[in-house]
Structure 1
Amino acid sequence: MGLFKDYRGDDFRFSVWKMEENIDELLTLLPDNECYAQRLSQFSSLHRQLEWLSVRVLLYTMVGEHKEIVYEQSGKPFLKDGSYHISISHTRGYVTLILSALHPVGIDIEQYSERVSKVSSRFVRSDEVVTLYKGVYTWSLLLLWSAKEVMFKCMSRVEVDFKKHLKVFPFQVVEEGILEAQEYHTADHRLFSIHYLVQTDFVLTWCVDKL
């Protein structure tokens, strides 16, 4: 399947890759694939190898040249050459990546699963609204969680409590929309506008943080 979705904005771009290739097929899509193949040994599971390679293939597909992804101590990814701000996310069967040359970015993808309701008390505030969509609350819960993941990534801070420090204002789920949110972790109490898509088997949220 490969490239599942590709979107270009004025100052950012994001893509979603559907993971259906095996290791050998992914390696053929990369330059200097022997170098990538050698680095796979750092992962013990085939699933992690496929995720890691799929992200690199997606990045190469987007920018047309090799760029090395490195990580801060917190786990936040960045490009070694500093050419773009990036954010990465993956869920079962998909990886996604957003980049911008100008602004910090955050992206998150979450597979549809009713298990989110079992942990909702950990991230849903009493002043947040969970609504029905297609007869279930699952989509609304997934968007709440996913939006807070994006806020967390844009904030680049540790010790953020998703329930205490992050709030998504009331919304009604549609196939494509914008969530308004606010953080209470800093003295600034910054506001965020988080875009989202609802697909058949996942939700996708992203933010271009223009401060």
Structure 2
Amino acid sequence: MPLYKTITPNSQTTVKIWKITESYQDLMAKVNLKPVALERVLGMKSELHQRGFLSVRHLLQEFGYTDSDLFYDENGKPHLKDGKHISITHSFNFSAVIVSDLIVGIDIEKQRDKIAVIANKFIDYEFDYLNKMEGDYVKKLTVIWCVKESLYKLFATPGLSFKQHCLVIPFTLLDAETVAWIDYEDKKHRYNIHFFEFEGFTCAYALV
């Protein structure tokens, strides 16, 4: 399938989402990979991960980039050679890329009940406003996970903890946006958050 969705939250930022319906062979046939990327994708044991990796390269092409325009720093954060900021995510049969003049992070996660089992590993302050008995509990947990993953990606600092350093301000699912903070080493960083649901998945992205 070609592009699934394009979102333009502001004049400096674009989000593109891909629904991965193609085979590994079809995805591979339509991208040019630099040697290190080719080695990486061939070394993946899961075809699901291979297809996710390749779909991201298709999204790069939608932005007018090639695999050669993308590189990673020592912390594993992706960068573009033209200096624009980029963040990448894929989960099961969806992938997404956000490109901006601003610092950004993005995450997609499938909504699954088992997230409730691990909630205490990534949530602290947020338990004050969550209600386990509400029908949207799992969906709210998934939003919070996506937000914190987005923050982790954009901050790209070893030692950052979802539970200790990332805080998501109270929200409802209808809000489609909230505010989040990174409180790290006596400095507080504020980010604007947008989130939405589609086909049993949640996507959140963070902007300065």
TM-score (normalizing by structure 2)? 0.87
> Would you say 1:45 and 2:53 are equivalent positions?
no
Same amino acid, percent of matched pairs = 25
Alignment-derived partner of residue 92 in structure 1: 92
> What is the Cα deviation at residue 77 of structure 1?
1.2
- Superposition map of 1:28-107 within 5 A: 28-30=29-31, 32=32, 38-39=38-39, 40-63=41-64, 67-79=68-80, 81-100=81-100, 102-107=101-106
**1:155 aligned partner, one-letter code:** F
Instruction: Work out the number of aligned pairs and report it.
Output: 205
Residues 124-133 or 50-59, more deviating: 124-133
Alignment-derived partner of residue 137 in structure 2: 137
SS at match of 1:106: strand
**2:185 aligned partner, one-letter code:** T
**1:87 aligned partner, one-letter code:** S
Change beyond 3 A, Cα 1:131–1:6: farther
Alignment-derived partner of residue 27 in structure 1: 28
SS at match of 1:163: helix
> What is the Cα deviation at residue 154 of structure 1?
2.0
Listed one character per residue, the Cα deviations across residues 144-199 of structure 1 (whole Å, up to 9, x for unaligned) are: 1111111112222111111111111111112x611112221132212111111122
Alignment-derived partner of residue 153 in structure 2: 153
SS at match of 1:189: strand
RMSD over aligned Cα atoms: 2.5
> What is the Cα deviation at residue 61 of structure 1?
1.5
- Maintained 8 Å contact 2:191/2:207: no
Alignment-derived partner of residue 164 in structure 2: 164
Alignment-derived partner of residue 189 in structure 2: 190
> What is the Cα deviation at residue 63 of structure 1?
1.8
- Superposition map of 1:105-144 within 5 A: 105-126=104-125, 128-131=128-131, 135-144=135-144
Change beyond 3 A, Cα 1:193–1:133: farther
> Would you say 1:17 and 2:35 are equivalent positions?
no
> What is the Cα deviation at residue 133 of structure 1?
10
SS at match of 1:75: coil
TM-score (normalizing by structure 1)? 0.86
Listed one character per residue, the Cα deviations across residues 103-127 of structure 1 (whole Å, up to 9, x for unaligned) are: 1110011111111100001111145
Which one has the bigger helix percentage? 2
> What is the Cα deviation at residue 67 of structure 1?
4.0
2: CA distance between counterparts of 1:153 and 1:147?
A: 10
2: CA distance between counterparts of 1:28 and 1:70?
A: 21
Unaligned runs of 5+ in 2: none
Listed one character per residue, the Cα deviations across residues 13-72 of structure 1 (whole Å, up to 9, x for unaligned) are: 111101110122213433x47979954323233222211111101111222655432222
- Maintained 8 Å contact 2:90/2:96: yes
Alignment-derived partner of residue 179 in structure 1: 178
1: CA distance between counterparts of 2:152 and 2:35?
A: 32
Listed one character per residue, the Cα deviations across residues 62-116 of structure 1 (whole Å, up to 9, x for unaligned) are: 226554322222221112x23421100111111110011x211100111111111
**1:48 aligned partner, one-letter code:** H
SS at match of 2:86: strand
Residues 193-202 or 124-133, more deviating: 124-133
**2:28 aligned partner, one-letter code:** L
